[in-house]
Amino acid sequence: MTMLHREPAVRSDRIPTPTDQRLAGIVDRVLEGTRLSREDGLLLYDTEDVHTVCALADLVRRRMHGDITWFNINRHINYSNICALSCSFCAFHRKRGDEGAYEYSIDQIREEAIKASEAGATELHIVGGLHPWLPFDYYTSMLQTINEVAPKLHIKAFTAVEIVHLQKISKRGRLKYQGTVEVLKDLIDAGLGSLPGGGAEVFDDRVHNEVFKTKIRSDEWLDVHKAAHELGLNSNTTMLYGHVDQRAERITHMEILRKQQDHTLRDWAVAQGINDVPGDVVLTGDAGKYPMNRLPAPGHDGLDTGYFQTIIPLPFFPDKSVLEHLPGPSGLENLRTLAISRLMLDNMPHVKAFWIMQTLDMAQFMLQNGADDIDGTVVWYDITHVEGASTHQETTVGDLQRAIREAGFIPKERDTLYREVERTGSEWKLASAEK
């Protein structure tokens, strides 16, 4: 049976003539596959010609991924909302004794893992608050228990701020970086498979001081991911924008991430004996310059370097947070920010339109404007609720596939490391696995 899919609204071979002449140089650089500068990024935010910004992001996305859009079958566990901190943008956290405060027992986590495995999920995504009294053993037991009952499930768990918290409560290592390495090693031994990208917010001291002062700063966030990459874990990254941040600060955030990824990919390539790697590792350019197949292999295949797989721009939701008086970003601002992320973060393989926070309709639209991944089926998500949504936020595989096809793309299921999955019902295996 031939699978029909609609023509996408924006085609990579039809870059419009910009109505804003200031964009002409950026169009040339994107067509050449040359890195965009900070000034370019600021202009992409400043211009009223959002159509050209999105068309360029779509061109880059198609150059890298063609008509493929990735999705996965996953489950989220937010193991506790009790948190020692009180970030002002966060409506998720509670203090001990507050109405709605909760924590999962290991038995509850075991049940969730079994349910996820029986439903055919390939991934558990686990994050929570910085719980003041749960011991380090709780976290290693959680991972070991999941591994025992559902060994095929990939565990993507703990944002960088949680890792720093675990480092403190486990009293691992007196030297900060070494302590991070040691705690990560313990977690890997217990079953950790990769790190999610949360907690990055916007890398800027002014924003940090204003809305999440007690949380780790960008240097610590980056160090946790650097340590994870050195230990062979892949990770994702995010940008929570649209609160007190300014657009220039978002560009700074992207530049910082891009610089760290440059170092990681260049060091890995040189270690592999690939010595012709340019200073700027531009994956979004001509495939001949730094082809995608020269990224560290998913699953690492004996190689021991991880990297940032995906940028996930996350719009701020004011509801029930201390910043409830702020309006939050508009849909157009979300679309523009995602497109700019695709254009500026030229060394990130993937851009995700996280449907839970963008809504499925908007995520579908974003696939035509820079995103190549729509995330997964989810089920329970406590962190942010789009207005009117409940904690139970689930979509079916059929709905995800339909949304992708309607946007003009071919849905492909992936595992956490972007390896293609073959599936019959809840039974699955990697497409690369031996037949």
**Does residue 202 belong to the site contacting ligand SF4 (CB under 6 A)?**
no
Pick out residues in 136-195 that bind ligand SF4 (CB under 6 A). Answer: 161
Give the integer Cα–Cα distance in Å for 21 and 53: 13
Smallest distance, ligand SF4 to C-beta of residue 243, A: 12
- 85 or 430, CB closer to ligand SF4? 85
Smallest distance, ligand SF4 to C-beta of residue 92, A: 5
**Binding ligand SF4 by CB under 6 A: which of 90, 312, 344, 417?**
90
- 129 or 193, CB closer to ligand SF4? 129
What one-letter code names the amino acid at 213? K
If you ran DSSP here, which 8-state letter would residue 420 be given? B
Residues in the chain, total: 435
What one-letter code names the amino acid at 53? V
129 — phi, psi (to 5°)?
A: -75, 175
**Does residue 246 belong to the site contacting ligand SF4 (CB under 6 A)?**
no
Q: Taking the CA of residue 251 as centre, how many other CA atoms within 13 Å lie in the half-sphere pointing to its CB?
A: 16
- 131 or 266, CB closer to ligand SF4? 131
**Binding ligand SF4 by CB under 6 A: which of 70, 71, 79, 92?**
92
Q: Characterize the bridge pairing of strands 154-157 and 123-127.
A: parallel
What one-letter code names the amino acid at 301? D
- 130 or 157, CB closer to ligand SF4? 130
Quick one: which segment of 88-96, 257-265, 359-367, 403-411 binds ligand SF4 (CB under 6 A)? 88-96
Tokens 């996350």 locate to 314
- 85 or 326, CB closer to ligand SF4? 85
- 95 or 176, CB closer to ligand SF4? 95
For residue 432, what are its two tokens?
């690369």
**Does residue 129 belong to the site contacting ligand SF4 (CB under 6 A)?**
yes
Smallest distance, ligand SF4 to C-beta of residue 253, A: 16
- 354 or 365, CB closer to ligand SF4? 354
**Does residue 93 belong to the site contacting ligand SF4 (CB under 6 A)?**
yes
Please name which of 141, 140, 143 lies closest in space to residue 154, comparing C-alpha atoms: 143
Quick one: which segment of 29-37, 89-97, 317-325, 389-397 binds ligand SF4 (CB under 6 A)? 89-97
**Binding ligand SF4 by CB under 6 A: which of 5, 27, 68, 86?**
86
DSSP 178-242: HHHHHHHHHHHHHT--EE--TT-----HHHHHHH-TTSPPHHHHHHHHHHHHHTT-EEEEEEEES
Return the bridge partners of 239, or none.
Answer: 313
**Does residue 83 belong to the site contacting ligand SF4 (CB under 6 A)?**
yes
- 282 or 356, CB closer to ligand SF4? 356
**Does residue 101 belong to the site contacting ligand SF4 (CB under 6 A)?**
no
**Binding ligand SF4 by CB under 6 A: which of 30, 109, 130, 227?**
130
- 322 or 397, CB closer to ligand SF4? 322
108 — phi, psi (to 5°)?
A: -65, -40
**Does residue 87 belong to the site contacting ligand SF4 (CB under 6 A)?**
yes
Quick one: which segment of 82-90, 137-145, 219-227, 372-380 binds ligand SF4 (CB under 6 A)? 82-90
Quick one: which segment of 5-13, 84-92, 177-185, 282-290 binds ligand SF4 (CB under 6 A)? 84-92
How many CB atoms neighbour CB 87 within 10 A?
Answer: 21
163: Cα separation from own chain's centroid: 17
Give the CA radius of gyration of the chain.
Answer: 21
- 40 or 223, CB closer to ligand SF4? 223
What one-letter code names the amino acid at 61? R
**Does residue 119 belong to the site contacting ligand SF4 (CB under 6 A)?**
no
Smallest distance, ligand SF4 to C-beta of residue 242, A: 15
Tokens 């082809």 locate to 291
**Binding ligand SF4 by CB under 6 A: which of 76, 156, 172, 215?**
215
What one-letter code names the amino acid at 44? L
Question: Which ranges constitute the DSSP H helices of 119-199?
Answer: 136-149, 160-170, 176-190
Residues 6+ positions from 277 with CB-CB distance below 8 Å: 265, 266, 269, 270, 290
Which parts of this chain interact with ligand SF4 (CB under 6 A)? 83, 85-87, 90, 92-93, 129-130, 161, 215
